[in-house]
Structure 1
Amino acid sequence: MTLSLAPAVHATATDTGMVLLDENSGRYWQLNPTGALILHALLDGHSADDAARQLLARHPQLDPAQAGRDVTALIENLLDSQLVAS
């Protein structure tokens, strides 16, 4: 699944991760460094499995199954919030 930011959503890197602003609603979401890493990977065209592998490379102490669940949960939340499109 290839993801892209929704047309009215803008992303800005911060010292603590990333902020997403939805211009249509005026709402913003803050992603921690882990969420930012995952979203960057997905926006760069990597698969969910690739994003989980990147997460594990940065945090080798994580359980691989949990890393996959975390990536899936973030994708679902981003889609549900209409911040990204597939």
Structure 2
Amino acid sequence: MRKKILIFGATGYLGRFMVQASIAMGHLTYAYTRPLKPGTNSDKDTKVKTVQDFKAMGGELDDHEKLVGILRQVEIVISTVAEYPG
């Protein structure tokens, strides 16, 4: 059964695999990421590329209104956001 899924932390190590697997399984998948800009950090550049790939697959959530609208529609929310010790 096709589900509507929202994945937070989509450019992280686990998140990008979750997005790819969800799409491969035929689910309508939304990927939420924090805004990223190209820089000198190769990890950041990799995340920028990942976001570009997700956008090419069909979507983006870059503002509050879009996010709220999607939250009202999805059936499943997955968080792959890493916890960093402070």
TM normalised by structure 1 equals 0.31
Bigger relative CO (Cα 8 Å, ≥ 6 apart) = 2
TM-score normalised to structure 2 length: 0.31
Name whichever structure is richer in strand by fraction: 1
